Amino acid sequence: MTHPWFAGVATPRVLAHRGLVTPEAAHSGVVENSFAAVAAAHSAGALYVESDCHLTADGTVVLFHDDDLSRVTGDPRKVADVSARELEHLMTGRGGLITLAQALDAFPTLRFNLDVKATDAASAVGTTVAPFADRVLVTSFSDERRRAALLAAAATNSTVRPATSGGRGAIARVLAAVAARSDRLVAHALAGIDALQVPERQGRLRIVTPRLIAAAHRHGVEVHVWTVNEPDDMRRLVAMGVDGIVTDRADVALAALT
């Protein structure tokens, strides 16, 4: 059965990577994963927002990519070492802090693709998204963090679980199974996974191939590619059969693919 996160939306899916920050918005100081960036993606017509989750010192899940604040705010401290109030102050003038709870409440029509970036955040992410599990996909490079978030969500909401995409370990097993041309191993590697979210290449290794896409589709799993910002690349990947494009320029992608 198709998870509600996927239902009612035609492919290719456009996933706004950390929201949407146009060059003009960036010039005015808006940064990724801010309230303004999520609002801009929504205003541009994006139905999906890809974001990242960290936990503050006082236990608030916030949308933030890095484990420290230096790149985005110039403050060298880690997200885990500041309170939500302190982070809110630091994000003033940068588009505004947005917590996970605020994002789910303020944008009820958006579907979120959430990358659990910290082990300490996993359980809090799961319990926060549980009431909204029909419009949340949980992922992480760490399958352990991903599973911990899913277990926390299941403990809170036994009716609907969040959708999920595989972490590094799961993806490695899928790629090995595809290379071995074993559909049995592919099925085993994809068990419990709704999507593969991968880069087109990892160094010199090509990840996204027609064979991978066909294998995923045989088992009802979508393939989403990150992070794609050039319209020609978006169109080429969609023509290859990918189901979703993760992009910094959701506005450009929506114009190119719809």
Positions marked active-site: 27, 65
Find the helix or strand (DSSP H, E) in which 114 lies: strand 111-116
Half-sphere exposure of 49 (CA within 13 A, CB side): 31
Find the helix or strand (DSSP H, E) in which 36 lies: helix 35-44
How far apart CA 138 and CA 125 sit, in angstroms, is 9
**Tokens matching residue 230:** 């050039």
User: Among positive and negative, which fits the CA dihedral 4, 8, 9, 10?
Assistant: positive
**Tokens matching residue 138:** 């949980």
- Provide the strand spans (E) within 46-110: 48-55, 61-63
Distances (CA, A) of 177 to 171, 190, 203, 213: 10, 10, 20, 13
Helix (H/G/I), strand (E/B), else coil: 40? helix
Spell out the SS3 assignment of 14-28.
Answer: EEEECCCCCHHHHHC
How far apart CA 231 and CA 67 sit, in angstroms, is 31
How far apart CA 135 and CA 41 sit, in angstroms, is 16
Distances (CA, A) of 202 to 85, 162, 172, 248: 38, 27, 12, 19
